[in-house]
């Protein structure tokens, strides 16, 4: 057994002393979407700090806990707050929670984030369904001894974002009359926002939005055979695309303002999974 899997099993075993809830769907909430819990019939909570060896977030606006319960009729586990690479954790640690949700039993992972818009057709406040990603600017979370218990050494990444789940997001958005963009997400290490030159480069590479999370979690989930989908809230236009300087507070304020509609989209989409 790899050291990584052993650590994961310790976390898992602790959580199973608290609850035997079997979620089918995992949901990771990004900045500004931290109040999602009200859309859920909660059965049990586990603060990250209670789980032995679990990475605990230090970012403002990221309250850390797993919530187990039902979204509609769908048993789900919600990650209220995630950890980021820029906090100083290794990529292995950053994706530990994702892998733990796989052990809880999830088959589908819904990733959400706040992101900077690179595509000039986007505006701050838009939603973007992620169709593919660029993750090469941060280390792969799969580096190191392969966790054979979860997946193979060289996993295919042709369809990181599940085609059927993408169709479900688009159908749900249409039904709910929520406009939605589509595009490619690029992950940077953060914590600094990007320079205008970096944003121009990402644009030339085909990226539509940039953020500091998500792609690594998508990789870890795909490695473990979990079906993945993702939606970004474009909380700002990226540096150099807009004239103003960027601040975390402004980013959070836009995400907060859009939270209601974002939550509705995510909730209906998960309910439609049944």
Write out the catalytic residue numbers: 31, 62, 84, 86-87, 114, 212-213, 236, 248
**Nearest CB to ligand HPA, comparing residues 17 and 249:** 249
Residues sharing a CB contact under 8 Å with residue 199, sequence separation 6 or more, in sequence order: 116, 118, 210, 238, 239, 240, 241
220-249 residues in contact with ligand HPA (CB under 6 A) are: 235-236, 238, 246
Residue 101 CA to residue 26 CA, distance in Å, equals 7
Report the nearest approach of ligand HPA to the CB of residue 115 (Å). Answer: 5
273 lies in the site for ligand HPA, by CB under 6 A: no
Helices then strands, each counted (H, E), the chain: 7, 9
Can you read off the two tokens belonging to residue 163?
Answer: 């085609």
Question: Residues 115, 130, 169, 173: which binds ligand HPA (CB under 6 A)?
Answer: 115
Position of minimal CB gap to ligand HPA: 116
114 lies in the site for ligand HPA, by CB under 6 A: yes
Report the nearest approach of ligand HPA to the CB of residue 155 (Å). Answer: 26
Can you read off the two tokens belonging to residue 274?
Answer: 């049944």
Report the nearest approach of ligand HPA to the CB of residue 246 (Å). Answer: 6
> What are 65's strand-pairing partners?
47, 80
What is the separation of C-alpha 170 from the centre of its chain, rounded to a whole number of angstroms? 18
Peptide bond into 71 cis (omega under 30): no
251 lies in the site for ligand HPA, by CB under 6 A: yes
Residue 58 CA to residue 264 CA, distance in Å, equals 28
> What are 127's strand-pairing partners?
233
**Nearest CB to ligand HPA, comparing residues 23 and 116:** 116
Closest by Cα among 273, 271, 272, 259 to 36: 259
**Nearest CB to ligand HPA, comparing residues 40 and 59:** 59
Size of the site for ligand HPA (CB under 6 A): 13
Report the nearest approach of ligand HPA to the CB of residue 263 (Å). Answer: 18
**Nearest CB to ligand HPA, comparing residues 104 and 202:** 202
127-186 residues in contact with ligand HPA (CB under 6 A) are: none
Q: Which residue in the block uniquely carries the two structure tokens 């993945």?
A: 228
């Amino acid at each position: 057994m790899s050291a990584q899997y052993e650590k994961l099993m310790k976390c898992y075993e602790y959580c199973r002393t608290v609850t035997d809830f079997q979620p089918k769907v995992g949901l990771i909430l990004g900045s500004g979407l931290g109040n999602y819990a009200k859309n859920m019939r909660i059965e049990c909570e586990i603060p990250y700090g209670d789980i032995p060896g679990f990475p605990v977030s230090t970012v403002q606006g990221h309250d850390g806990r797993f919530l187990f319960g039902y979204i509609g009729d769908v048993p789900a586990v919600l990650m209220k707050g995630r950890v980021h690479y820029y906090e100083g954790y290794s990529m292995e640690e950053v994706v530990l929670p994702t892998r733990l949700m796989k052990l809880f039993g999830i088959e589908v992972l819904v990733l959400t984030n706040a992101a900077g818009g690179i595509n000039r057709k986007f505006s701050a406040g838009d939603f973007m369904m992620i169709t593919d990603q660029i993750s090469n600017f941060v280390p792969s979370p799969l580096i190191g001894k392969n966790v054979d218990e979860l997946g193979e050494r060289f996993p295919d990444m042709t369809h990181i974002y599940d085609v059927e789940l993408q169709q479900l997001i688009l159908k749900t958005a249409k039904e709910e009359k929520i406009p939605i963009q589509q595009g490619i997400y690029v992950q940077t290490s953060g914590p600094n926002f990007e320079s205008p030159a970096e944003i121009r480069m990402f644009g030339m590479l085909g990226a539509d939005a940039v953020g500091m999370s998500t792609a690594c979690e998508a990789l870890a989930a795909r490695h473990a055979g979990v079906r993945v989908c993702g939606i970004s809230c474009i909380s700002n236009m990226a540096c150099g695309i807009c004239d103003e300087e960027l601040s975390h507070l402004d980013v959070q304020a836009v995400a907060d303002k859009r939270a209601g509609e974002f939550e509705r989209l995510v909730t209906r989409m998960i309910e439609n999974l049944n």
